């Protein structure tokens, strides 16, 4: 059916993707064609034709069942109740979140090259090696090739923009928009809302609920400690989101960087840039801000030593306080790039707090926190080398982002 509808699409071999939807609807489930209705219909047909009702026929009927969910763009989407083949679009963290949610990556048959790059460079492929079997050729940057997508025979596509999701649905492919911005880039709340939508689609995941509880508790504990810091004593932090020979960008108040600073009692030096998200800057702006701490994300291949050695773009960082005092740090790379919401969030919260205020959180052994977290929640015994690599990511952490 998908391929028949595809042949009817004229000139639509390539579908341009935009960002995620930003409406404020929360996910909920409505009754569509339920399993019971389909099974009862099948039973009625078999009774009228005097065909024996077998377990196989009941199972076949159940696979045809669907339900209606509401995605983060407010669209009612009919999805199958049995989902075995998932393609993840250009909402890049979702492949890692879904892997943890489902307890494995066997059902993920397609994901973005940038998601695959993080999986290969981080812990995801070591813990869930089946993720490496997923295809990436169906998407290039922000463009989906429908012909390649149909070859993957997906039961559902998760993580595309609202307009593009509708086009895919018109082509017979259930497609769901998952927002990164509906909750003002609050990492913990956004993760919770993703999990709520996944619950609607797949059923509930006990593990993900426990991760959410731990994240909220870690956030509350940190807030309690940093709430006593006087405004004039708060550390001034710059998030270096991207840095190369061509560009430099940071997080304004409307992006995830603001959350990390607010959550840990720090001041985002770009926080007064009203309405700004991921904003392009230059060295003159850095000099004006003169941050005390610089945190580099894994959405860039830049490393702290590049700033210490003035190795990029001929820029001179030597007079910036963070560089003079050796306070430039690379964010961890766990199951995904930790700047975004994800299963690593509770560890990242504690890492960020300890990085900004080491004296206040001197009792936090971040390596032990990480070891205990992965053992308790994932039943994974990380080696010392794996933990060290998580907190010392290489340039490969940004692999695939140029595709």
Helix (H, G, I), strand (E, B) or coil at 176: strand
If pLDDT is split at 50, 70 and 90, which confidence band does 332 have?
Answer: very high
pLDDT over threshold 90, residue 262: yes
Q: Which residue has the higher pLDDT, 56 or 134?
A: 134
pLDDT over threshold 90, residue 52: no
Q: How far is Cα 190 from Cα 203, in angstroms, rounded to an integer?
A: 18
Which tokens go with 376? Answer: 């308790």
Pairing of strands 267-268, 236-243: parallel
pLDDT over threshold 50, residue 29: no
pLDDT over threshold 80, residue 10: no
- Comparing 35-44, 194-203, 263-272, which segment has the lowest mean pLDDT? 35-44
Q: What domains lie within the chain, and their CATH numbers? A: 2-211 (3.40.50.1980), 217-398 (3.40.50.1980)
If pLDDT is split at 50, 70 and 90, which confidence band does 154 have?
Answer: very high
Interval 199-221 mean pLDDT? 91
pLDDT for 381: 92
Q: Which residues is 139 bridged to in the sheet? A: 144
pLDDT for 277: 95
If pLDDT is split at 50, 70 and 90, which confidence band does 400 have?
Answer: confident
Q: How far is Cα 221 from Cα 364, in angstroms, rounded to an integer?
A: 12
pLDDT over threshold 50, residue 33: no
If pLDDT is split at 50, 70 and 90, which confidence band does 50 have?
Answer: very low
Q: How far is Cα 380 from Cα 8, in angstroms, rounded to an integer?
A: 48
If pLDDT is split at 50, 70 and 90, which confidence band does 39 have?
Answer: very low
- Note the pLDDT tens digit of each residue in 348-379: 999 999 999 999 999 999 999 999 999 999 88
If pLDDT is split at 50, 70 and 90, which confidence band does 143 have?
Answer: confident
Instruction: Give me Rg for the CA atoms of the chain.
Output: 23
If pLDDT is split at 50, 70 and 90, which confidence band does 13 have?
Answer: very low
Beta strand spans in 63-187 (E):
66-70, 76-80, 86-88, 108-110, 139-140, 143-145, 156-158, 175-176
If pLDDT is split at 50, 70 and 90, which confidence band does 48 have?
Answer: very low
pLDDT for 379: 86
C-alpha distances in Å from residue 181, one per residue of 119, 185, 193, 240, 275: 23, 5, 11, 20, 13
Q: How far is Cα 389 from Cα 384, in angstroms, rounded to an integer?
A: 9
pLDDT over threshold 60, residue 239: yes
- Note the pLDDT tens digit of each residue in 58-103: 555 555 699 999 999 999 999 999 999 999 999 999 999 999 999 9
C-alpha distances in Å from residue 108, one per residue of 94, 139, 152: 11, 15, 10
CB 100 within 8 A of CB 334: no
The whole-chain average pLDDT of the chain stands at 87
pTM for the structure as a whole: 0.83
CB 166 within 8 A of CB 316: no
Burial of 169 (0-12, 13-18, 19+ CB in 10 A): middle
Which tokens go with 113? Answer: 């090259």
């Amino acid at each position: 059916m998908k391929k028949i509808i595809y042949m009817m699409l004229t000139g639509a071999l390539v579908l341009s993707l935009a960002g995620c939807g930003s409406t404020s609807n929360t996910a909920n489930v409505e009754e569509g064609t339920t399993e019971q209705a389909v099974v009862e219909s099948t039973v009625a047909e078999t009774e009228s034709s005097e065909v024996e009702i077998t377990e196989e026929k009941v199972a076949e009927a159940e696979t045809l069942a669907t339900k209606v969910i509401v995605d983060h763009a407010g669209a009612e989407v009919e999805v199958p109740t049995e989902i075995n083949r998932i393609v993840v679009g250009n909402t890049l963290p979702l492949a890692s979140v879904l892997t943890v949610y489902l307890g494995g990556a066997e059902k993920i048959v397609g994901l973005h090259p940038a998601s695959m790059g993080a999986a290969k460079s981080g812990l995801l492929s070591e813990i869930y090696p089946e993720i490496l079997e997923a295809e990436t050729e169906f998407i290039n940057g922000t463009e989906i090739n429908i012909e390649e997508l149909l070859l993957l025979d997906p039961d559902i596509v998760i993580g595309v923009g609202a307009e593009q999701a509708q086009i895919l649905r018109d082509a017979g492919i259930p497609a769901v928009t998952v927002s990164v911005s509906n909750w003002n880039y609050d990492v913990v709340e956004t993760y919770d809302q993703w999990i709520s939508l996944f619950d609607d689609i797949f059923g509930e995941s006990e593990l993900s609920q426990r991760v959410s509880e731990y994240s909220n508790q870690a956030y509350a504990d940190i807030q309690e400690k940093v709430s006593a810091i006087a405004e004039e004593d708060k550390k001034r932090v710059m998030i270096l989101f991207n840095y190369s020979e061509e560009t430099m960008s940071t997080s304004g108040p409307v992006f995830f960087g603001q959350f990390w600073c607010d959550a840990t009692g720090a001041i985002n030096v770009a926080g007064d840039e009203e309405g700004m998200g991921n904003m392009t800057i230059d060295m003159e702006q850095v000099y004006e801000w003169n941050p005390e701490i610089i945190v580099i994300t894994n959405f860039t291949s830049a490393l702290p030593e590049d700033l210490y050695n003035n190795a990029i773009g001929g820029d001179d960082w030597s007079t910036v306080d963070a560089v003079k005092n050796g306070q430039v740090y690379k964010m961890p790379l766990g199951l995904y790039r930790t700047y975004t919401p994800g299963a690593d969030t509770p560890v990242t919260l504690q890492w960020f707090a300890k990085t900004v205020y080491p004296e206040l959180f001197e009792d936090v052994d971040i390596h032990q926190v990480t070891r205990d977290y992965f053992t308790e929640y994932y039943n994974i015994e990380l080696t010392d080398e794996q933990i060290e690599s998580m907190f010392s990511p290489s340039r490969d952490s940004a692999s695939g982002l140029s595709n």
